[in-house]
Amino acid sequence: MNNLGRGLKARKRIIGVTLALIVFCSGCKLTYLFHAAAGQFRLISGSIPLKEALEGDSLAPLQKERLLLVPLIKNFGEKELGLKKTDNYQTVFLKSRQRPIYTVSASPKDRLTRKTWWFPVVGDMPYLGFFDRESAEAEEADLLKGGLDVTMGMADAYSTLGWFKDPVTLNLIDGSTVGLVETILHEMTHTTLYVKGQGEFNEGLAVLVGKVGAVLFLERTYGPTNPLTIEAKESLEDEGVFSSFLASLFDRLELLYSSPIGYQEKLAEREKIFFEATVEFRRVAGILKTRRFIHFGSGGLNNAYLMSVGLYHRHFHFFEAVLRKKGGSIKRVLAFFQGQSEEEGDILERVEQELHLQTERG
- The residue-averaged pLDDT of 154-182 equals 82
Categorize the per-residue pLDDT at 309 as very low, low, confident or very high, splitting at 50, 70 and 90: very high
Categorize the per-residue pLDDT at 1 as very low, low, confident or very high, splitting at 50, 70 and 90: very low
> What is the crossing angle of helices 61-80 and 177-192, to 10°?
40
DSSP state string for 235-248: HHHHHHHHHHHHHH
- The residue-averaged pLDDT of 198-204 equals 94
Q: Residue 89 contacts by C-beta under 8 Å, 6 or more apart in sequence?
A: 50, 70, 71, 74, 166, 167, 168, 184
What's the pLDDT score for residue 10?
Answer: 36
Please tell me the chain's helix, strand, coil percentages from 3-state DSSP, rounded to the nearest 5.
Answer: 60, 10, 30
- The residue-averaged pLDDT of 132-161 equals 86
Least confident of 14-28, 71-85, 259-273: 14-28
What's the pLDDT score for residue 101?
Answer: 75
Largest CA distance in the chain: 65
Average pLDDT in the chain: 86
Say yes or no to pLDDT of 130 above 90: no
What's the pLDDT score for residue 18?
Answer: 39
Q: Residue 100 contacts by C-beta under 8 Å, 6 or more apart in sequence?
A: 39, 43, 93, 131, 155, 156, 157, 158, 169, 171
pLDDT digits (tens, 9 = 90+) for 261-298: 999 999 999 999 999 999 999 999 999 999 999 999 99
Least confident of 92-101, 122-131, 228-237: 92-101
Cα–Cα distance measured from residue 346 to residue 351, given in angstroms and rounded to the nearest whole number: 9
Cα–Cα distance measured from residue 137 to residue 151, given in angstroms and rounded to the nearest whole number: 10
Say yes or no to pLDDT of 129 above 90: no
Say yes or no to pLDDT of 348 above 80: yes
Say yes or no to pLDDT of 144 above 80: yes
Choice between 212 and 155, residue whose per-residue pLDDT is larger: 212
Q: Residue 340 contacts by C-beta under 8 Å, 6 or more apart in sequence?
A: 347, 350, 351
Q: How far is CA 18 from CA 92, 162, 196, in A?
A: 19, 10, 15
Choice between 254 and 162, residue whose per-residue pLDDT is larger: 254
Contact 239, 296 (CB under 8 A): no
Cα–Cα distance measured from residue 115 to residue 172, given in angstroms and rounded to the nearest whole number: 29
Residue type, 288: L
Cα–Cα distance measured from residue 105 to residue 358, given in angstroms and rounded to the nearest whole number: 36
- The residue-averaged pLDDT of 23-32 equals 49
What's the pLDDT score for residue 110?
Answer: 97
What's the pLDDT score for residue 29?
Answer: 61
Categorize the per-residue pLDDT at 155 as very low, low, confident or very high, splitting at 50, 70 and 90: confident
Say yes or no to pLDDT of 194 above 70: yes
pLDDT digits (tens, 9 = 90+) for 212-260: 999 999 999 999 999 999 999 999 999 999 999 999 999 999 999 999 9
